[in-house]
Structure 1
Amino acid sequence: MSFSHAPRTVALTGMVAAGALALSACSEGSTPSDGGFVTTNAGIDTVAQGGRQAPNALKGETLQGTQFDVADLKGEVVVMNVWGSWCPPCRAEAPNFVKVAAETKAQGVEFVGINTRDANRGAATAFEDDYGIDYPSLYDPTGEILLRGFPKGSINPQTIPSTIVLDRDGRIAARALQPLTEEKLRKMINPLIAER
């Protein structure tokens, strides 16, 4: 009698990927190994317009319990911040995200959080309340959205915090694997605001 090992292999692969993300949690960035992009002096990876890929599905339930799909924001520049309430660098960068989100909304920029590794919503919603975060955050306690959301060969989040920016066509255009100052966040977003 023959048994398929496919479900066990898929589960093991997911656990390894989640473990890698967990091991790098709250780190100060690393040297990326995927190709087709340029890393700037500020530690921001960018992809030229012709080489950008769309993410896979980035959708699910928000911390407030509503369904949300990042694909519905196509036509806007989308800033996705991967964070956890337990992460000190996430707390340090949160005021910068709140300020820049408010100041760039009129320019067609939307912010979305991806909350991960918070076992319950209470700590995460308290984090949002403490920092005045009013944009939606997908609730991804096990990292499933992160694992399925980024195609092989694309720049993807590898640490917590990470920030990914999608261009107006919904393609992955920039990434930072470090907590961001207001200045660095604007350096990621401004070239994409200018694109038409």
Structure 2
Amino acid sequence: MRRLLFGLVAALLLAGCSSGADAVEVNSGGEFRFVEATPTGEVIPPGERATAPEFSGTLLGGGEFSSAELSGDVAVLNFWGSWCAPCRVETPEFQEVYADVRDDGVQFLGLNVKETDEQFALAFIERFGIEFPSLYDPRGEVALAFRDYPARAVPSTIVLDREGRVAAVYTGEVAQEDLRRVLAQVLGEA
């Protein structure tokens, strides 16, 4: 009986963790949450792609960033948090892909969301040796700009083509092999 009561109390406490006062309302009023991963990234046909919203912000560790800096390159936008267990698996794999494709016209940008303290995000980057930049977006304002895509799920990844259009969208953890396949396909477009 004691274990059952303890389990019930723990479940109630965990349920309360997802509703913070600074939560950003995106899409249908939802908050950042974990979701089941998409099995593979589907590349959106070029004629059906929408232009990604413009955004800007402050990079972790300082400095400003504007989405205009992605112009002309294929870009991988990854919404992550140090508190996100799948991000701990996915982010080091993203670093491996980034190291292989950064000289091929591909940029990576992390978007650190819902972090209560920038130091946690900086420690995460240092721990995993991440070299690509990340915006510090504690209130999820950039995610709000992407409200037409599932950027409120963490992790989420959006691949942009060279024209700044959304070419692929992932929710949940992305397999390294699948990201490589999608990038090769988008890079191969005329």
Letter in 2 for 1:105: R
Q: How big is each residue's C-alpha offset from its partner over 1:32-90, in whole Å with a ceiling of 9 and x where there is no partner?
A: xxxxxxxxxx3324311011111222211011121001222111100011000000000
Question: Does 2:139 match 1:142?
Answer: yes
Question: Does 2:184 match 1:190?
Answer: yes
What is the TM-score with the length of structure 2 in the denominator? 0.81
Q: Which consecutive unaligned segments of at least 5 residues does structure 1 have? A: 1-13, 31-41
- 8 Å CA contact retained: 1:81, 1:163: yes
Give the whole-Å Cα distance in 2 for the aligned partners of 1:92 and 1:106: 24
Q: Which consecutive unaligned segments of at least 5 residues does structure 2 have? A: 1-23
Per the alignment, residue 155 of structure 2 pairs with 161
Question: Does 2:84 match 1:87?
Answer: yes
Q: 1:84 to 1:151 in 2, by over 3 A?
A: closer
Question: Does 2:38 match 1:44?
Answer: no
| Mapping for residues 9-20 of structure 1, pairs under 5 Å | 15=25, 17=27, 20=30
- 8 Å CA contact retained: 1:156, 1:164: no
Question: Does 2:100 match 1:103?
Answer: yes
- 8 Å CA contact retained: 1:56, 1:151: no
Secondary structure of 1:15's counterpart equals coil
Task: Work out which of the residue numbers 102, 109, 130 in structure 2 matches 1:133.
Answer: 130
- 8 Å CA contact retained: 2:41, 2:179: no
Give the number of the structure whose alpha-carbon radius of gyration is greater. 2
The runs of 4+ residues in structure 1 deviating greater than 6 Å are none
Q: How big is each residue's C-alpha offset from its partner over 1:17-45, in whole Å with a ceiling of 9 and x where there is no partner?
A: 496242xx232237xxxxxxxxxxx3324
Per the alignment, residue 26 of structure 1 pairs with 34
What is the TM-score with the length of structure 1 in the denominator? 0.79
- 8 Å CA contact retained: 2:27, 2:147: no
Per the alignment, residue 169 of structure 2 pairs with 175
- 8 Å CA contact retained: 1:18, 1:147: no
Give the whole-Å Cα distance in 2 for the aligned partners of 1:18 and 1:90: 24
- Identity value in percent: 38
Give the whole-Å Cα distance in 2 for the aligned partners of 1:70 and 1:128: 21
Letter in 1 for 2:54: A
Q: May I ask how many residue pairs the two structures share in their alignment? A: 167
- 8 Å CA contact retained: 2:60, 2:118: yes
Q: How big is each residue's C-alpha offset from its partner over 1:101-147, in whole Å with a ceiling of 9 and x where there is no partner?
A: 00011211110000000011000000000111111111111111110
Q: 1:190 to 1:21 in 2, by over 3 A?
A: farther
